[in-house]
């Protein structure tokens, strides 16, 4: 069974940078597009971006482009999401997610079906 295990909660000051990890177990990160989705308190889901771990290709949502960097380390089967210049409205639960369909069979327009446990990020002065 594939599992995505995320790093723990973070509290950051405005203007700081946060980096969250997502460890893939039961599968290999290099075979799957890794997505990041966030959810502000009481709000809906917001897609942030994805990475193809095989070649490092990324796609980012316009809202966070320029502040977000999504990477993957194939040696440790771990994906990362780094968000800089944090603001109070970045306070949210951040989820990593992946499609169980491999990149060799499916393109990035195939949706995710495995989700991480979520990481709470609080941005406060």
Partner 1 sequence: QSVLTQPPSASGTPGQRVTISCSGSSSNIGNNYVYWYQQLPGTAPKVLISRSNQRPSGVPDRFSGSKSGASASLAISGLRSEDEADYYCASWDDSLSGWVFGGGTKLTVL
Distances (CA, A) of 21 to 10, 13, 51, 89, 121: 12, 19, 13, 21, 12
Return the bridge partners of 72, or none.
79
What does the per-residue mask of binding to partner 1 show for 41-80, with x meaning CB under 8 A? ---xxxx-xx--------xxxx------------------
Options 20, 83, 112, 123; binder of partner 1; rule CB under 8 A: 112
Using the contact rule CB under 8 A, the part of the chain among 15-23, 37-45, 69-77, 79-87 near partner 1 is: 37-45
Q: Nearest-CA neighbor of 47 among 57, 62, 33?
A: 62
Q: Is 111 in the site for partner 1 (CB under 8 A)?
A: yes
How far apart are the C-alpha atoms of 107 and 16, rounded to whole Å?
34
**Positions of E strands within 31-108:** 34-39, 45-51, 58-60, 68-73, 78-83, 92-98
Residue 6 or 30 having the CB closest to partner 1: 6
CB of 15 to partner 1, least distance (A): 26
Q: Interface with partner 1 by CB under 8 A: which residues?
A: 35, 37, 44-47, 49-50, 59-62, 95, 108-113, 115-118
């Amino acid at each position: 069974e594939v599992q995505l295990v995320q790093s723990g909660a973070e509290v950051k000051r405005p203007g700081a940078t946060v980096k969250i990890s997502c460890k893939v177990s039961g599968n290999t990160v290099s075979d799957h597009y890794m997505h990041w989705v966030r959810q502000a308190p009481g709000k809906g889901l917001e897609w942030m971006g994805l990475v193809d771990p095989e070649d490092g290709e990324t796609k980012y949502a316009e809202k966070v482009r320029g502040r977000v960097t999504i990477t993957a380390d194939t040696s440790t089967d771990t994906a990362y999401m780094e968000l800089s210049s944090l603001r109070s409205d970045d306070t949210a639960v951040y989820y990593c997610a992946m499609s169980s369909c491999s990149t060799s069979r499916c393109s990035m327009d195939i949706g995710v079906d495995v989700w991480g446990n979520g990481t709470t990020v609080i941005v406060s002065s």
